[in-house]
Structure 1
Amino acid sequence: MEFGEVVRRRRMVRNFDPDRPVPAEVRERILSNALHAPSAGFSQGWAFLVLEGADKERYWETAGVQPGREDWVTRLRRAPLLVLPFAHEQAYHDRYAEPDKNRSTWTAPYWYVDTGMASLLMLLTAVDEGLGACFVGLPVPRIPAIKAEFGVPAEFAPLGAIPIGYRAPDPRSPSLRRGRRPTSEVVHRGHWGQHTE
């Protein structure tokens, strides 16, 4: 698929065909492509917890269901593959303490930025492979239990979860009624007040 087509087709898919597993070679391409994300200082302060089968079900049981979200979670649970991306802040402090960097402050927490970019590469690869995927947050009160259940070290911070699978009919998100903001509203050319194309 052409890159422009991948970008145009990328959307948050929230319902999956539970009877079609993600082939192992596709799963590995998705994970491998994530490692090509930009990384400040090539720190690579990310890690990914891959859950399938019974492990995936353990995640959903541990995460629980927020009242009023039952249908939404039921659809997400159908995804045969679930990837949890984690950011590792200390990897950046260690890397930037090295002689070729020697820096301890950043304009943004790049451990989150870089892990987010790796997550986006997974979403785009899923589209390129003919799959659907989405990025969802974790239930904050359940994060300690989720980390404990899967033995995640304390210094790794979760960004969210990425359910991946073959797309099934999905109700249209009401958020889409807002429409995509045009470049004329968000792109500033030469000066913040300049929006001309």
Structure 2
Amino acid sequence: MSVSASPVAAGAFSEGERAAVYRAIFSRRDVRSQFTDTPVDKDVLMRILTAAHHAPSVGFMQPWNFIIVRDAGVRGRVQAAFADANAEAEAMFGPDRRPLYSSLKLEGILQAPVSICVTCDRARGGPVVLGRTHAPEMDLYSTVCAVQNLWLAARSEGIGVGWVSIFRSGALSEILGLPESVVPVAWLCLGYVEELYDQPELAAKGWASRLPLEQLIFCDTWGQCEGARDVPSDVTPPAW
């Protein structure tokens, strides 16, 4: 069934609006330990989830669901699952990296007042979905777009988000009772924060640094970079 659509103006944002968008992008952080005890009320949470639900998705499949988790028992089981997997992860790094790894706080599952598990229903839309016919993983990529929308909307509300990814395969599915066709994509810890690092925490603590953009841009084919690496200075992110 077709639905009539009315065109709207597609002009550029005002200077202030552009600045707000870029500020949200450049000052977004992965938060693990700076959460306050202030609860996130329903209205704010629904604004954030509405932004997530307006993410782009291939074939307009909208494969995501959002499981809001406040229950202490559920969060405790998830934190225990993280701890088991994290012990295994630590052992995977060599002796030169292991001490730094063990010093990093990589989750805020019990500290954040609320968590959201973003899932992907791989059966949504049926066996043949526009845009997935030759790239079935597009549903997962679409779900990650929803995660990004959620994160930026949360930043605009003064809410920090921490993505916890260190879990054994199937652990979250079992704890949350997910159907067979549904896979967890992101466990996100949410809460108000009073301050943020002025750079990614892993950069601040010496784990990794941001790659120079000019090294990542090619023209037309892989490795061809003539004229592609002159990054204008006015796109350098400001300090916030």
Counterpart in the other structure of 2:9: none
- Residue by residue over 1:152-177, the C-alpha shift from the partner in whole angstroms, topping out at 9 and shown as x without a partner, is 11110111211111126678734454
Q: Please, which of 64, 82, 90 is the counterpart of residue 46 of structure 1?
A: 64
The structure where helix makes up a greater share of residues is: 1
Aligned residues: 190
- Listed as ranges, the matches of 1:147-186 within 5 Å are 147-167=173-193, 173-176=201-204, 177=206, 178-186=208-216
Say which SS state the counterpart of residue 90 (structure 1) adopts: coil
- Cα deviation digits, residues 100-152 of structure 1 (max 9, x gap): x497322x6111100001001111111010111122214115x34x3233221
Where 1:164 maps in the other structure, the secondary structure is strand
Query: 2: distance between equivalents of 1:165 and 1:31?
Result: 14
2:79 and 2:109 in contact (8 A); partners too: no
**Residue 11 of structure 2: aligned partner:** none
Give, as a single letter, the amino acid of the residue that structure 2 aligns with 1:90: A
Larger Rg: 2
Give the alignment of 1:6-155 within 5 angstroms: 6-54=24-72, 56-61=74-79, 63-65=81-83, 66-67=86-87, 72=105, 75-96=108-129, 101=130, 104-106=133-135, 109-141=137-169, 143-144=170-171, 146-155=172-181
- For residue 77 of structure 1, report the CA deviation from its aligned partner: 2.0
Q: Which residue of 217, 228, 233 maps to 1:187?
A: 217
* TM-score w.r.t. length of structure 1: 0.81
Per the TM alignment, residue 8 of structure 1 is displaced from its structure 2 partner at its CA by 1.1
Structure 2 distance, partners of 1:103, 1:116, is: 15
Match of 2:229 in 1: 196
Cα 1:132–1:103, aligned 2, differ >3 Å: closer, same or farther?
A: closer
Q: Write the distance in 1 (CA, Å) between the matches of 2:148 and 2:64.
A: 13
Q: CA deviation at 1:18?
A: 4.5
- How far residue 10 of structure 1 moved from its aligned partner, in angstroms, is 0.6
Cα distance, 1:32 vs. partner?
1.0
The worse-fitting range, judged by mean Cα deviation, of 54-63 and 111-120 is 54-63
The separation in 2 between residues aligned to 1:37 and 1:55, in whole angstroms, is: 31
Distance 1:112 1:71, change over 3 A: same
8 Å contact kept, 1:56–1:81: no
Structure 1 stretches lacking a partner, 5+ long: none
